[in-house]
Structure 1
Amino acid sequence: MATTFGPDRLKGARSKLLGGTATALALMTMGAGTVYAQDADADTDDVNLEEIVVTGSLIRNPNLTRSAPVSVVSTDEMDYQQAGVAEELLREIPGMVPSIGAQVNNGNGGFSYVNLRGIGSNRNVVLLDGRRLSPSELQGRTDLNNIPLAIVDRVDVLTGGASTTYGADAVGGVTNFITKKNFHGVEANVAYGTTEKGDGDTKRYEITVGTNLDDGRGNAILSVGYQKSDAVFQGDRDFSKDTLFYWDGTAGGSGLGPFNTRFGNVNPTGADNSNLPLGGVQDDRTFAAAFTPFNYAPFNTFQTPFDRYNIYASANYQISDNVEVYTRAIFSKQTVSTIIAPSGAFGDAVTVSLNHPFLSDAQRNAFCAFDTDPAAGVYTPLYTQAECDAAGAAVDDSDPNYREVNTQLRRRNVEGGPRISDFNSTWFDYQAGLRGEIGDSMNWDVYASYGQGDQTQVQKGYWMKSRFRQALLAGPNGCNDTSNGCVPADYFGPTGSITEEMNAFLAGGESNISTKFDMGQVVGSLSGEMDFTTPWASDGLNYAVGGEWRSYSASIESDLLSQSGDLGGAGGAQPNTYGGYSVYEAVAEVLLPVVQDADFAKELTFEAGIRYSNYTVDDETSPKYDTTTWKLGLSWTPIDDVTIRGTFARAVRAPNITELFAPQNTGLTNLQSDPCASVNDQGVNNGNVPTGALRDVCIAQGAPAGAIGFIPQPAAGQANGTFGGNLDLKPEKSDSWTIGIILQPEAIPGLTVTADYYNIKVEDAINAPNPGDVIAACFNNASTDNPACSAIGRSPIDGGLSGDSAVVSGLDLFTSNNGNLATDGIDFSVSYGMAITDDMQWDTRVSGNWTNSSTFQAVTGVSLDRECVGLYSANCASIQPEFSFNWRNTLSFEKFDVSLNWRHISSNQYENLGDPTDPVFSGVPQNLTEESDFGTTPAYNLFDMSVRYRVLENVTLTGTVSNLFDKEPPLTGSFIGSTGFNSGNTYPSTFDTLGRRFSIQARITF
């Protein structure tokens, strides 16, 4: 039979190990010393002890408590949740803020991350058994999809500055996956899940084999797994099948659709305006009888398709009494497919030949009627009627009557289907080392590791801008430029006018973007206990010293198509990026029992640490820089029932490769409202005509004078933004402190209560400003002399902030050291277990978080110090609720467990709620039956039920019903927040969008 470690799995073992398990739980909750796992088959008189990694310290003495609080996800919790990947598991921890994961569709780059405390997914470190794993991409983040959960025994989450112990990036903390040790036997897991709607199937197959070597001198483990999940489309849920406008609740969508090809946005003016073709009252050239918004929701997903193979192998062997050799290797291969609405032309500049074969006389007349100077007050058409008629009859572009019109094109490629990006990734991390003892009180450890991640993004279904521009310059004899097999395209007809032949030419082909990241490291440490003691303690000074070297290199290499920015709707070009850096570090930690077994202190322990780091950036123009981090901690147990703990830490985060080396590039950001704009995404003019200084600023930013009063709002709530790295960046600094209490009253055996206040502040934060900050910096003091205004670039055609990324730079969103971040709150937990009868055990645990504040300021002393707790908008990306908790209750019998988990998220509201210039809908949204207030999300409660049954001694079945009462997510409408998190009229990374779902897992051990 397989030997298993971690929390006991069933009542048969739990009744024997209640005391030991409660102790282990208390230690893990306290972050106290080395925790020991127990053999589930052992009697209490014969317990197999195996040392496990301590999170938060390099010192491994199992008898001394630490001052840093650690949250723990146990094996039982992983069993009950039946999460397929680690990101799903961590998202449920109170105080964690959802980051990029499977629920994110538009913006998912094929990776999943953790965001501790909401201060950024790039401000924490992912560890395996206390050791860094190689990152997966240029921001230095580790893809959680690569963690093989089959070999994970528990997950420790330490929040707050941990840079002293683990190096830079651990500003928000660390997530430490602890693996099974000395596993002997075979364990096979098979799991299947589906929603009540019959979609979103998930499958997981894993087999783990372990064996002891040479009469226990060593051990080897091999684990192989496969995971797969199917797509869940937003169109398959009633609340998300329509794109709902957050301001009025109507079913709408994007102004870029197939039914309403639009050319230009400037309305002809003049006394005879009403007599112009198409009525002259529209704010663009709509080639259809009426405007029809494009509903893009059905194409998007709530569960991104995912396919992964993973292999984990480890071995250790004692080559002498005092020396052990060990190794570990992980390999993962995965495909993540993101699906979004069809490509097209998104306000791109084009030139239309007036003899185009698909252009009707009325449409040609509409082009000819464009006012050459709307601001002049005297209507002057672009071409006279005679010139227009002659141009329509021109044979080719050499005909003297040939005429063209410069305009913009807005048209969705519905005929060509959705845009698809397949992210194919491979990742490995290999480690080998030696460790041993020197005498009875000193341990040493030296290891080296190398990891590499490779990802290829294949983009399909995109129109090429150069191709539709080529196709619009056509005449009765075909394209004027016949290269590439050009076919004239019918942009002037209804849906279906773009034929397969046209689409084959316009789409061109696939594009490829390759990302590569390498990390190598060599780490050595020496730890032990010295004879030095204080007069009031019996245990001596514990210490650890070490040195590290790490080297990072990364690149993004794009094919010519991706570099060119020629893909319509791809959000801009993807330039090549190369960079790297290396760091040498020295670290020392001490832990000293100051008082032990005294009347006023059963134990008083002091700990401290310091780390020096020296960085070299792989660029001749970049100077070296160094950092020093340190920590102090105190743990005081005045009586056996009470422990008080506190820490203070100075942490740093060095700039990552993207922040240093990314070339200047224009892409997309979120912006709902442009102060210069007058026309919404559906072509409706609100009557706003900027005057005075505001008008001057709009024109100075590149808007044509004639466009004033007709400038469009950002298309689909997305404006252009120009981003870029900065080789002058320096490390950001963070101060964090915690103070907490642990209660374990002897009068109530099995009860543990913890509460910890945390406070994290980041100065000189490396960041880019939010779109709202850029707009406020200019338009709160609108002036052509304001540098914040001159940094914004507008379309020279319609004056908007959307359009061709090669022409419209949009908002200035460059990276700098000018910001600051801060957050504080309280974590708490209560756990209790008791035997109700000889055959029934009750275990309860509630863990929660109250976040008092979470602020972000893009430019210290200038930008708004924005509060985001309990708020959502384009400026506050993901939702961080003020209060959240998980409360699990489990009844255990001889052969089965019944467990119910209650997940609670407090209410939230729109950041601009109450702003009369930014109305929010409240009522019954179109095509739905229940009332909804898009300005608030009420308190949200979900319940999950699990049953675990031991069918045979070596066969266990676990069934889980997630979202037991089929609770739908609260609705916020679309466009109210950032695209990556506000999707499907809600926030799918925060709230459950799949509905009730069922999963079953079979575990076989032998």
Structure 2
Amino acid sequence: MKTFSKRALLRAGVAPAILSVSLAATAAFAQDAPQAAEAESADTIVVTGSLIKNPNLARSTPVTATTADQIELKQNNTAEDILREIPGIVPSIGSAVNNGNGGASFVNLRGLGSNRNIVLLDGDRLVPAELNGRFDLNNIPVALVERVDVLTGGASTTYGADAISGVVNFITRSDFAGFEANVSNQITEDGDGNYVRADITIGANFDDGRGNAVFAVGYQQSDPVYQGSRSFSNDQVDSYSGAIGGSGTSTPSRFSNTNPSGTATGNGTRQITADGTAFRPTTAFDAFNFNPYNIFQTPFERFNMFGAARYEISDAVEAYTRGIFSKNTVKTIIAPSGAFGIAVQVPLSNPYLTTAQRNAFCQRNVATAAQIAAGTYIPLLTPAQCAAAATAVDPSDPNYREVTTAFSRRATELGPRISEFTTTFFDYKAGFRGGITDTISWDVSGAYGESEQTQTQQGYWLNSRVRQALRATSTTECLDTTNGCVPLNAFGPDGSITPEMNAFLNANSQVVTKTSLAQANATINGDFGWAVPWASDAVAFAIGGEYRKYTASQESDLLSQSGDLGGAGGAAPNIAGGYDVYEAFGELVLPLVQDKPFFQDLTVEAGIRYSKYSVDAPSNPSYKTTTWKAGGSWTPVDGFKIRGNYARAVRAPNIAELFAPVNTLLTNLSVDPCSGAAPVTNANLAAVCIAQGAPATTIGSITNDPAGQVNYTGGGNLNLNPEKSNSWTLGAVFQPSALPGFSATVDYYNIKITDAITSPTPGDAISACFDNITAASATDPSCTVIRRNPLTGELFGEAATTPGLSLVTSNLGKLSTDGVDFSLNYQKDIGFANLSLSLIGNWTNSSKFQATSASLNRECVGYYSVNCASIQPEWQFSQRTTLGFEKFDLSLLWRYIDTVNFEPQQLADDLAAAIDAGCTDPNGADPDGCMVDPEFRKIKAEHYFDLTGRFHVSDEITITLTVQNMLNNKPKVVGNTLGSTSYNSGNVYPSTYDALGRRYAVAAKFRF
């Protein structure tokens, strides 16, 4: 070959003129002719969804594309922001939610889980950010993104395991020559949430065009937006009672095993009075309002670099390379630490105890449950014994007494908990490619990447030191004097804890997460140079092999491993593991009939991939998988195409699912069937609660966690096998010649996953035990596997003593979803301006999840609850209208989110529990708070409008001004306790609905 352009096309893919037909969305301003011209000049095009690089072949699978032009108009600063606007993508963990954010942002296609898709850069995998194998979107170089392709459905044949729900492919600008600088700033109307971004890109061709190099650097920085700065989120609202609420870990302190009234039924957990002198006579307490400490925009700072180069060594061989580096610092800020219901020993001679407080401990009724019900009162200590214990300071003194109690106290004097996540990421690729013939090319490459995240946790009390500091009989010295112990005044009013006490109680901890990915790939692709008799395009193919090696580890210091941090959600154990993958693959595209009546084009395609996995474990588990796909497209007449695809995909268990040890962490549950008065009147229910570890004396006084959180125990499983998926799509593309500039697509998708690697939802675990309570339920394994706080009978408390719900990982799950993607595009010169109309939308018919064969096959489309984590509306679309003038563009983006409701199944479960509890009005806004407040059971349809003005000051300078959320829509308040903490935060769902309010953004682009 005399030139390299043919080989470049062979390794490239579908020309943008064809993309305008086969993609579900096109650029707001792009016309087909300019697109084709740009493609010809760039000479390198990436197609998503196939390994065959033939520019004459359109794919049978639908792809949604978001262009750099649309990104610029919206002024998206991060990849997460870009994807959030695409219908069909369900919000995953990201920057809008602070509690539960691990310093990274992920994507969740179709609501099937953020671990069931692959994020690619120019068709390449990148090293994941954590043990679940997910790529952190914060590492994408947004300034260099040319477009973002989203492919729905199983793509394991093309990209390997994990691509069950699809892939997200960020395509970068190639062969860039020149200098470009971008700077932008965004701020909310309230004057907070400042977001600064700056990027510089330099590129050049050299050696008479034989080579090209591009290098880009970028910087981003965002300020926090606190929930306390918005009226709808300043106070925590209880979703069930509708009242201002908060956490039971409050201030002043709360203690269990108290009886301030000295009566038979006076036992319970009581809060110290505001003046710090006594216990309150009732179990009512001042809930701690944690909302003002939490944030809607996570503070973030990033520095990133990206470089790519290619050089034609000869007419037959080209060398190429790509490198990406990023350093991110994310801070998550949540309410102060403290003692979250931990078991402690308190000497009755503690110097900070008042007489009234001491008497409340001494007067605890220790009669049996039956005796208490009959009115019998037997105090723990007589008044004389209590008085003698008040002065006994030596544990060897016969009068010395200690009481065991569950202690809850918010460390308000210490300040918020801050976790700083610093991530250093790099991924490097190098390879060679060239031509074997004029129509067949080869490509051999290798890549290696590492990610290291250091999490530093600050502002946490240590449970062990709290226990040590409470075992004191003087104000100057603890009974255990190690570590320089300072006695803790937990019995006074808010503010009673001194800096010296806090200095002893808290310490920083650290968790380091490391991942690596090594890859090798060899591919031969092109066409055979011949076509079947009725077709003009040649038969195309791709064959090759791939190797991947994953390793990951979590290395925690002793504090993090011990679970000693108050309010950290559980221990962070050491984890290490890895696996190898060997793969062989092939694809074939066969044009059958072309340029015939009613058969302008009829093309079929197929692919297969064989994979062998070897897990790095003593038992050396391994498994083999085969994935395949078959599809085709038929164009009966110009401007109309029918396309379809069927794929068999798999997802191998990731390192966390394989190697994570059993651990107790936090999940969400609003209503505990053992809470309230229900067990008092239902003997079978009481027996179950006791069988789960609740002391008999707590029956009738067990409470729901006011913050809606409970403990759960789960972990990895080396016996897991790959999950399997069958998916198919069927759609049509319209581009009638009678209406120039118009195109439309509609595609139905259906994805079913079996042998899914899943864990039960909290609702599943509760329903399995409590839906049909009988006398035998107290010995039913689905009941006894739930373990309660041994002091209070509640499902929350210290992880070491309260395992809570059992949410075991298994291959017993099933997931399924189906729906329709659609798009409309129209571009026309209307004389005084160029008009561009575009719409992409999604209708989701169903999205179901079943954890085990005994679990409910739960529907989550259009619903929200603790079981349906993120919101997936039935209808969703984005519509953009743009007028392009000679020097000015005006563009309006309209985003629609359909109405959603509280999950009916959870509402039914709540109703059953409410009736058992004897609520006064279980179907309405009853004062007992047994049911979700009717006001919070529905979020009406939402419409957002963003207005952008773009000024072409000169050929070198462009200024863009954007007003986001132009109407300043506020999110619907639904309270803070009806959904998952990772999504239901600040009384709203901030990852779905805009919590920041109206924002102004300005950007300048300089090109030379």
TM range (shorter): over 0.9
Q: Give, as a single letter, the amino acid of the residue that structure 1 aligns with 2:249.
A: L
1:189 maps to 2:182: yes
Instruction: Work out the CA distance in 1 between the residues paired with 2:111 and 2:330.
Output: 25
Alignment correspondent of 1:498: 497
Would you say the 8 A contact 2:268–2:698 is kept in 1? Answer: no
CA distance, structure 2, for counterparts of residue 404 and residue 247 of structure 1: 38
Pairing of 1:615-630 with structure 2 (within 5 A): 615-630=613-628
Q: Amino acid of the residue matched to residue 900 of structure 2?
A: N
1:456-471 maps to which residues of 2 (within 5 A)? Answer: 456-471=454-469
The corresponding residue for 2:5 is none
| Post-superposition CA distance 1:588-621 (Å, at most 9, x none) | 0000101001112100000000000000000121
User: Does residue 776 in structure 1 map to residue 771 in structure 2?
Assistant: no
How is 1:967-978 mapped onto 2 (pairs within 5 angstroms)?
967-978=969-980
Q: Tell me, yes or no, if structure 1 residue 366 matches structure 2 residue 360.
A: yes
Q: Deviations over 1:487-525 (max 9, x none)?
A: 111111111001111111111x10000000000000000
Tell me by how many angstroms 1:634 deviates.
0.9
Deviations along 1:715-766, one digit per CA (max 9) or x if unpaired, are 5211110111000000000000000000111110010010000000000000
Counterpart contact for 1:268–1:379, Cα < 8 Å:
no
Matched-pair contact (CA < 8 Å) for 2:25–2:839: no
Q: Please report the TM-score for the alignment, with normalisation by the length of structure 1.
A: 0.93
Q: 2:88 maps to what in 1?
A: 95
Could you tell me whether the CA contact under 8 Å between 2:340 and 2:408 is conserved in 1? yes
Q: CA deviation at 1:395?
A: 3.1
The aligned residue for residue 805 of structure 1 is 799
Cα displacement (A) at 1:687: 6.2
Report the CA distance shift for 1:401/1:950 in structure 2 as closer, same or farther (over 3 A): same
Deviates more, 1:484-493 or 1:849-858: 484-493
1:141 equivalent to 2:134? Answer yes
2:257·2:268 contact (CA, 8 Å) conserved in 1?
A: no
Deviation at 1:400, TM superposition (A): 2.5
Question: How many percent of aligned residue pairs carry the same amino acid?
Answer: 56
Q: Report the 3-state secondary structure (helix = DSSP H, G, I; strand = E; otherwise coil) of the residue aligned with 2:711.
A: strand
| Letter paired with 2:896 | H
Q: Which amino acid aligns with 2:694?
A: A
> Which residue of 2 is the match for residue 887 of structure 1?
879
Equivalent residue, structure 2, for 1:12: none
Q: Which residue of 2 aligns with 1:535?
A: 533
User: What is the CA deviation profile of residues 794-852 of structure 1, one whole-angstrom value per residue up to 9, with x for unaligned ones?
Assistant: 11111111111001111111210000000000000000000000x41000001000000
> Equivalent of 1:297, from 268, 291, 308?
291
Q: Secondary structure at the match of 2:889?
A: strand
Contact persistence 2:717–2:809 (CA under 8 A): yes
CA distance in structure 2 between the partners assigned to 1:302 and 1:747 by the alignment: 49
Instruction: Tell me the CA shift for residue 124 of structure 1.
Output: 0.4
CA distance in 1, matches of 2:249, 2:997: 31
Q: 2:170 aligns with which of 174, 177, 181?
A: 177
| Structure 2 CA distance for partners of 1:211 and 1:702, relative to 1, 3 Å | same
- What are the superposed Cα offsets for residues 853-907 of structure 1, whole Å, 9 maximum, x if unpaired? 0000000x31000000000000000000000000000000001100000000000
Secondary structure at the aligned position of 2:960 is classed as strand
> 1:269 touches 1:379 (CA, 8 Å); kept in 2?
no
Q: Which residue of 1 aligns with 2:12?
A: none
**Partner Cα distance (1:847, 1:608) in 2:** 28
**Number of residues of Structure 1 aligned to a counterpart in Structure 2:** 965
**2:697 aligned with 1:703, yes or no?**
no
Which amino acid in 2 is paired with 1:958?
A: T
Structure 1 position 691, deviation (Å): 3.0
Per the TM alignment, residue 66 of structure 1 is displaced from its structure 2 partner at its CA by 1.1
1:276, distance to aligned residue in structure 2 (A): 12
Partner amino acid for 1:356? N
Q: 1:116 aligns with which of 104, 109, 120?
A: 109
- Report the equivalent of 1:8: none
- Note if contact 2:258-2:270 (Cα within 8 Å) is conserved in structure 1: no
Alignment equivalent of 1:899, drawn from 852, 869, 891: 891
Classify the secondary structure of the residue corresponding to 2:158. helix
Say whether the 8 Å CA contact 1:276–1:366 is kept in structure 2.
Answer: no
Cross-structure match for 2:947 = 945
Structure 1 residues 58 and 37, CA, compared in 2 at 3 Å: closer, same or farther?
A: farther
- Residue 373 of structure 1 and its aligned partner are, at CA, apart by 2.9
- CA deviations 1:573-602 (Å, max 9, x no partner) are 111001000000000000010100111210
Cα distance between partner residues in 1 of 2:368 and 2:1007: 79
- Partner in structure 2 of residue 25 of structure 1: 20
Aligned twin of 2:1000: 998
Q: Take 1:424 and 1:280, find their aligned partners in 2: how far apart are those partners?
A: 40
User: 1:278/1:512 Cα in 2 relative to 1: closer, same or farther (>3 Å)?
Assistant: closer
Tell me how large the CA RMSD over aligned residues is: 2.5
* Counterpart in the other structure of 2:582: 584
- Map residues 277-356 of structure 1 onto 2, 5 A cutoff: 287=279, 291-356=285-350
Shifted more, 370-379 versus 435-444: the winner is 370-379
C-alpha distance in 2, partners of 1:337/1:106?
11
User: Could you list the runs of 5+ residues in structure 1 that have no partner in the other structure?
Assistant: 1-19, 679-685
Alignment-derived partner of residue 222 in structure 1: 215
Residue in structure 2 matching 1:66, options 59, 71, 76: 59
Deviation per residue, 1:451-499 (Å, 9 max, x gap): 0000010001111001110111000262101111111111111110011
**Could you tell me how far 1:129 is from its partner in structure 2?**
0.7
The residue that corresponds to 2:867 in the other structure is 875
Give distance in 2, aligned partners of 1:804 and 1:275. Answer: 21
Query: Is the contact between residue 199 and residue 231 of structure 1 (CA under 8 Å) also seen in structure 2?
Result: yes
Q: CA deviation at 1:983?
A: 0.5
1-side partners of 2:567 and 2:346: how far apart?
20
Q: How far 1:266 moved relative to its partner? A: 6.8
Does 378-387 or 693-702 show the bigger shift?
693-702
Give the counterpart of 1:236 among 225, 229, 232.
229
Which runs of 4 or more aligned residues in structure 1 lie more than 3 Å from their structure 2 counterparts after TM superposition?
Answer: 20-24, 27-31, 35-40, 265-281, 285-290, 912-924
Query: In the TM superposition, what whole-angstrom CA distance separates every residue of 1:435-462 from its partner, at most 9, and x where no partner exists?
Result: 0001111110000000000001000111
Q: Are residues 279 and 300 of structure 1, via their aligned partners in 2, closer, same or farther at CA, if it must alter by over 3 Å?
A: closer
Q: 2:598 maps to which residue?
A: 600
**Residue 956 of structure 1 is aligned with which of 951, 955, 958?**
958
Matches of 1:445 and 1:523, distance apart in 2:
8
1:427 is the counterpart of 2:418: no
CA contact (8 A) 2:22 2:63 kept: no
- Contact 1:247/1:920 (CA < 8 Å) preserved in 2? no
Q: Deviations over 1:271-307 (max 9, x none)?
A: 66579999999xxx98358721111110000000000
Q: Does structure 2 retain, via aligned residues, the 8 Å contact 1:278–1:366?
A: no
Distance 1:340 1:556, change over 3 A: same
When residues 830 and 58 of structure 1 are mapped into structure 2, their CA distance, relative to the original with a 3 A threshold, is same
Taking a change above 3 Å as real, the CA distance of residues 806 and 141 of structure 1, as seen in their structure-2 partners, is: same
SS of residue in 2 equivalent to 1:370: coil
- In structure 2, what residue type is equivalent to 1:675? P
Distance, in Å, in 1 between the alignment partners of 2:856 and 2:958 is: 55
> Alignment partner of 2:356: what SS?
helix
Deviations 1:81-134 (A, max 9, x none): 111110111011001100011101100000100000000000000111111111
The amino acid of 1:760's aligned partner reads I
Separation in 1, partners of 2:48, 2:834: 30
Distance 1:146 1:493 in 2: 48
- Matched AA of 1:97: V
Q: Distance between the aligned counterparts of 1:279 and 1:850, measured in 2? A: 50
* Residue 651 (structure 2) aligns with: 653
Distance 1:90 1:711 in 2: 43
- In the superposition, relative to structure 1, how do residues 921 and 341 fare at CA in structure 2: closer, same or farther (>3 Å)? farther
Q: How does 1:908-947 map to 2 (within 5 A)?
A: 908-911=900-903, 912-913=906-907, 916=911, 917=913, 933-947=935-949
Which of 960, 972, 979 is matched with 2:981 structurally?
979
Residues 59 and 543, structure 1, Cα contact 8 Å, conserved in 2: yes
Specify whether residues 21 and 137 from structure 1 end up closer, same or farther in structure 2 by C-alpha distance, changes over 3 A only.
closer
Tell me the secondary structure at the aligned position of residue 384 of structure 2: helix
Give the counterpart letter for 1:545 in structure 2.
I
The Cα of 1:251 is off from its aligned counterpart by 1.4
2:753 counterpart SS class: strand
